[in-house]
Amino acid sequence: MSEDALRSTRCAICGTEGHASELYPENFAFSDLTPETFSARRLPDRLHYRIVQCDTCGLVRSDPVANTATLGELYRQSTFDYGSEVDNLRRTYGRCLDRLGVFGVHRGALLEIGCGSGFFLEEAQARGYADVRGVEPSSRAVAQAASGVRERIVCDIMRPGLFADETFDVVCFFQVFDHLPDPAGVLAEACRVLKPGGFVLILNHNIDAFSARLLGERSPIIDIEHTYLFSPATLSRIAQAQKFKVLKTGSVWNRYSLHYLARLAPFPTALKQGVLAFLRRAPVGRLPFAVPLGNLYLLAQKNT
């Protein structure tokens, strides 16, 4: 990839270009950008763009990044492998969805933006949602979806025209929102397709989490996949800027297998490959652990 495939980014809250302080310089050559770089759970990791923080609102972002056409192509070609983590993710996300219960959610129509292979759509069906839909740009991910949800997934990026106004009771983003090149625009579109009083649920990394602060640039969230990195404060601000009423933010306890946690750990690659090879074979590698792995959720409501 050449340098003209890059574009500068704006703060997704303030709309300003520049006006930000550098946290970390970029650490890769542009020719390293391949579909494999963008595939979930790849090795080796730790590539990141130049990371900056908005001087006004504190939102952290990558700047510059691959332009939208290049990024779209990289995601379309990316491979997909949740492997054995699907059951743990289903439960983690399902518990998060259940938090909407106290706010009187109607378990009617639900849309997941960036639904991958649709495993959460199955979970939402199991938790009583009558009509589930997904949007996912990776055709390989959609091809892996179970029959029963595959035909409920549109293979595309979320964009105006996919769904009519006021269609959904709930719109969800699971580990997707911080990947979007234009999160404010997608959130505005989510607002349009929500019924009045409908809910948005966003779950992603927390740049203010203890693990992220401790590891700094070595944190797995400082990664080329993330255009923006949110804290509870900045995630609330971007939702409020799109006219949502923020109901709640909090940290997420994820269930992961020991094998998966080892993949995320900041070990040197050679050591990590040895540890992973052991944990892949050993039964202990499949043991589930609930850990507060630096994720946050936000529940917000469209004005009635």
Whole-angstrom distance, CA of residue 92 vs CA of residue 84? 14
Closer residue to Zn ion, CB minimum distance, 183 or 285: 183
**77: its two tokens:** 């070609």
- Smaller CB distance to Zn ion: residue 52 or 191? 52
* Distance from chain centroid for Cα 122: 18
Three-class DSSP category at 227: coil
| Residue 194: burial class (beta carbons within 10 Å; 0-12, 13-18, 19+) | buried
- DSSP 3-state of 212: helix
Return the number of the residue (57 or 86) whose C-beta is nearest Zn ion. Answer: 57
170 sits in which H/E element: strand 168-174
- What CA–CA distances, in Å, run from 105 to 85, 100, 124, 134, 192? 28, 6, 13, 19, 18
Q: Which residues bind Zn ion (CB under 5 A)?
A: 11, 13-14, 54, 56-57, 59
How far apart are CB 59 and Zn ion at their closest, in Å? 5
Identify residue 183 by its one-letter amino acid code: P
CB of 237 to Zn ion, least distance (A): 8
By C-beta, is 15 or 161 nearer to Zn ion?
15
Tell me the C-alpha distance between 192 and 89, whole Å: 28
Is the Cβ of residue 13 or residue 132 nearer to Zn ion in the bound state?
13
Cα separation values, 24 from 20, 60, 66, 75, 186, Å: 12, 11, 17, 24, 27
**14 or 291, CB closer to Zn ion?**
14
Partners of residue 5 on adjacent β-strands: none
- Alpha carbons within 13 angstroms on the beta-carbon side of residue 77 total 10
Shortest distance (Å) from residue 13 CB to Zn ion = 4
> Is the peptide bond preceding residue 64 cis, with omega within 30 degrees of 0?
yes
Q: Compare residues 14 and 47 and give the one whose CB is closer to Zn ion.
A: 14
Q: Taking the complex as a whole, how short is the minimal distance between the CB of residue 166 and Zn ion, in angstroms?
A: 30
